[in-house]
Structure 1
Amino acid sequence: MAVIVGWLLRHTVNVQPWGPEAPTDAAPRAELALPAARAGLWVFLGVASSLFVLFVSAYAMRLGFADWSPIPRPRLLQLNTVLLAAASLAMAACVRAARRGDEAALRRGLLAAGVLTTAFLAGQLVVWKQLHEADYFATRSAAAAFFYLFTAVHGLHVAGGLVAWARTLYRAGRARGTREGRLAVELCATYWHYLLAVWLVLYALLVSEDLGLAICSTTPL
């Protein structure tokens, strides 16, 4: 998480599009830095994807044991998925607003994305609470353990993104629509789209009982 937050702070929120324009002789250097920041994000996403793949591989191996027993499916997972999808759409709207130079729309989009993402995390915590109250603990059920593992790791990635989002929202009012500012918004949006894509894969693992892969059964909780 330190790597996640540090990288986002360095390449997104520390970009100051509201500041004075760089001197002319510094322009070539800035042009070289922009692709490097974007490439750095994709390298990070590749590393994060490898982490999730390792967890999914461990889950696939554990699934073959005879004592595997799915847990009930929390109804709230559907709503949480909708919230995160809406947050991703809001980030896409932020990119369009940044390219138009519409600072008011950009700020509204960032605010909406942050509120929706925070609601997603709150919903995940409610799901945990429901499972805990139903006596589904990680130490008692392998399915519950993987449920907590997948949602916790994904939630930490979401929380790391919210740190960068908060700083970006705070400073968005002083933005001037420079190329660096647009890049910062685009990087944040890319990260949010990634969070949604990962969650959709995890959600499929949680509920795809027809394929014999589900952590959760069709029995609602």
Structure 2
Amino acid sequence: MALKKTEGTQFKMHPQKFAMWLFMVSVVMLFAAFTSAYVVKQSSGVWLDFDLPFMFDITTGIVVLSSVFMHLAYHYAKTNEIKKLKTFLVLTAITGFAFLAGQLIAWQELINDGVFFVGNPAGSFVYVLSGLHGFHLVSAVIFLFIVVISAFKYKVHSKSLLRIEMCTTYWHFLGGIWLYLYLFLTLNH
């Protein structure tokens, strides 16, 4: 978080970064509320026991790989290695789409196993948690495309890092949210 100390004890942050951090705090609260509701509802006793889709394991690996690609893109932006920056931004986008496609495949696995959105809260929560995360990832992919277009127009480099810094932060944040959800669902299933 790029806080700059000014006079006295005041800190200054770019307004767009501040807004993004506020948004991310609200997303954390949203997922905390849903996972808390999951725990409360699970204790009610009417809970369908089923295996999580194997595709969740694969998409978790994709998330980690995607974060590595995004981190490398950011690094290459800071060092003005524009060709590598573009390459790793494109790889990040590809892995982002792969994650979303994997989530759809995971939902198909759930349907094939007789786990539906309606019927039992256990299935509903899995769809809601993974779908809500997927929705946020779509927003990150859109943001990523803005950064990719900027990079191809040579507007992302060591002297112009705001967009890629924000995109990187948001991308890693969503990766962390997925890791939390994956562990939560695995341990509370």
Considering the TM-score relative to the shorter chain, is it more than 0.5? Answer: yes
Q: String of CA shifts for 1:105-160, please: whole Å, max 9, x gaps.
A: 11011001000010000000001011112221122221111000100000000001
Q: Mean alpha-carbon deviation: is it higher for 79-88 or for 135-144?
A: 135-144
Assess if the C-alpha contact under 8 Å between 2:48 and 2:123 holds in 1: no
Q: Contact 2:66/2:91 (CA < 8 Å) preserved in 1?
A: yes
Aligned ranges 1:72-87 → 2 under 5 Å: 72-87=51-66
Q: Using the TM superposition, name which of 58-67 and 36-45 deviates more.
A: 36-45
Do the aligned partners of 1:34 and 1:183 also contact (CA within 8 Å) in 2? no
Query: 2:76 touches 2:84 (CA, 8 Å); kept in 1?
Result: yes
Give the one of 99, 102, 111 matched to 2:81.
Answer: 102
Task: Quote how far apart the aligned CAs of 1:34 are.
Answer: 6.2
Q: Deviations over 1:155-213 (max 9, x none)?
A: 0000011111122212312225253x3121111010111011111111012111xxxx2
The C-alpha deviation readout for 1:51-95, integer Å capped at 9, x for no partner, is 111111111110101121222221111110010111111111111
Equivalent residue letter for 2:66: A
Q: Which is greater in Rg?
A: 1
> Which structure's relative contact order is higher, taking Cα pairs within 8 Å and 6+ residues apart?
1
1:121 aligns to what SS in structure 2? helix
User: What percentage of residue pairs aligned between the two structures are identical?
Assistant: 26
Which of 155, 162, 172 aligns to 2:151? It is 172
TM value normalised by structure 2: 0.88
Mapping of 1:6-85 within 5 angstroms?
Answer: 35-85=14-64
Please report the TM-score for the alignment, with normalisation by the length of structure 1: 0.76
Whole-Å Cα distance in 1 between the matches of residues 12 and 88 of structure 2? 26
Distance in 2, Cα, partners of 1:185 & 1:34: 16
Tell me which residue corresponds to 1:147.
126
CA positional deviation for 1:37: 2.2
The Cα RMSD (Å) is 1.7
Deviation string for 1:24-46 (max 9, x for gaps)?
xxxxxxxx996222222111110
Match of 2:139 among 147, 160, 167: 160
1:186 equivalent in structure 2: 165
User: Structure 1: which amino acid aligns with 2:19?
Assistant: G
1:119 aligns with 98
State the alpha-carbon separation in 1 of the partners of residues 71 and 163 from structure 2. 13
- Please give the alpha-carbon distance, in whole angstroms, between the structure 1 residues aligned to 2:177 and 2:13: 26
* Alignment match, 1:91: 70
Distance in 2 (CA, whole Å) between partners of 1:171 and 1:34 is 22
Conserved 8 A contact 2:140-2:170: yes
Q: Any conservation in 1 of the 2:56–2:106 contact (CA below 8 Å)?
A: yes
> Is there any run of 5+ residues in structure 1 with no aligned partner, and where?
1-31, 215-221
